[in-house]
């Protein structure tokens, strides 16, 4: 499969339809929540104030530079994870029919590197904006992505029972952050 076919395959088989959005049949509401939060992180200004407003100018500039670097690293991870998934990519938590379990590239390090990339990007924006609002958005995004990932894993376990072994070997999203590395207790 050439690179163009791989890229096009990532956008096939999503089964987008209005009835699905209305009934949440593939987990569309998780995607909607995630998308709204990402747009809020990107588009909303610092509010109600900047957390570091009393810091010296050098410290503020350093935080902004660090935030920009972290944002770029998150974007890089997202591109790599997207490319590695190829035709297995779905925006919904319910896996596409016929997908394979991907264990290469960034998927060797965590089960959900795209979600990790979103959180890294959001943390970078938090450092750039230094806003209490962006802290709340980041924490809300953590909860939404955790819920979406857990629904995704239940679907993967139904289609690929051997996925449970992978769950015991590879961290979920981020093993160093409480709540972002789990095992499913009830796969049903």
Three-state secondary structure string covering the chain: CCHHHHHHHCCCCCCCCHHHHHHCCCCHHHHHHHHHHHHHHHHCCCCCCCCCCCCCHHHHHHHHHHHHHHHHHHHHHHHHHHHHHHHHCCCCCCCCCCCCCCCCHHHHCCCCHHHHHHHHHHHHHHHHHCCHHHHHHHHHHHHHHHHHHHHHHHHHHHHCCCHHHHHHHCCCCCCCCCCCCCCCCCCC
List pLDDT tens digits, range 109-149. Answer: 999 999 999 999 999 999 999 999 999 999 999 999 999 99
Closest by alpha carbon to 151, among 30, 50, 4? 30
Structure token digits, residue 59 = 């410290």
- Give the percent of the chain with pLDDT over 90: 73
Computed on alpha carbons and rounded to an integer, the radius of gyration of the chain in Å comes to 18
Q: Is the pLDDT of residue 2 over 80?
A: no
Q: Which pLDDT score, from 0 to 100, does residue 187 have?
A: 46
Q: Which pLDDT score, from 0 to 100, does residue 133 have?
A: 97
| Dist CA 122 CA 138 (whole Å) | 6
pLDDT band with cut points at 50, 70 and 90 for residue 188? very low
């Amino acid at each position: 499969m050439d690179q163009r076919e791989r890229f096009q395959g990532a956008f096939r088989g999503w089964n987008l339809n209005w009835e699905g959005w209305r009934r949440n049949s593939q987990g569309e509401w998780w995607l909607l929540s995630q998308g709204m939060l990402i747009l809020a992180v990107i588009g909303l200004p610092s509010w109600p104030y900047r957390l570091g407003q009393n810091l010296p100018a050098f410290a503020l500039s350093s935080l902004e530079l660090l935030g920009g670097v972290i944002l770029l690293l998150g974007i890089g991870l997202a591109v790599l994870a997207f490319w590695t998934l190829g035709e297995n990519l779905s925006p919904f938590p319910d896996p596409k029919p016929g997908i394979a379990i991907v264990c290469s590239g960034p998927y060797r390090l965590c089960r959900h590197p795209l979600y990790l990339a979103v959180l890294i990007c959001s943390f970078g924006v938090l450092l750039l904006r230094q806003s209490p609002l962006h802290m709340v958005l980041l924490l809300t995004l953590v909860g939404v992505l955790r819920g979406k990932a857990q629904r995704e894993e239940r679907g993967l376990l139904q289609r690929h029972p051997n996925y449970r072994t992978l769950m015991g070997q590879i961290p979920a999203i981020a093993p160093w952050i409480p709540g972002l590395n789990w095992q499913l207790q009830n796969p049903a």
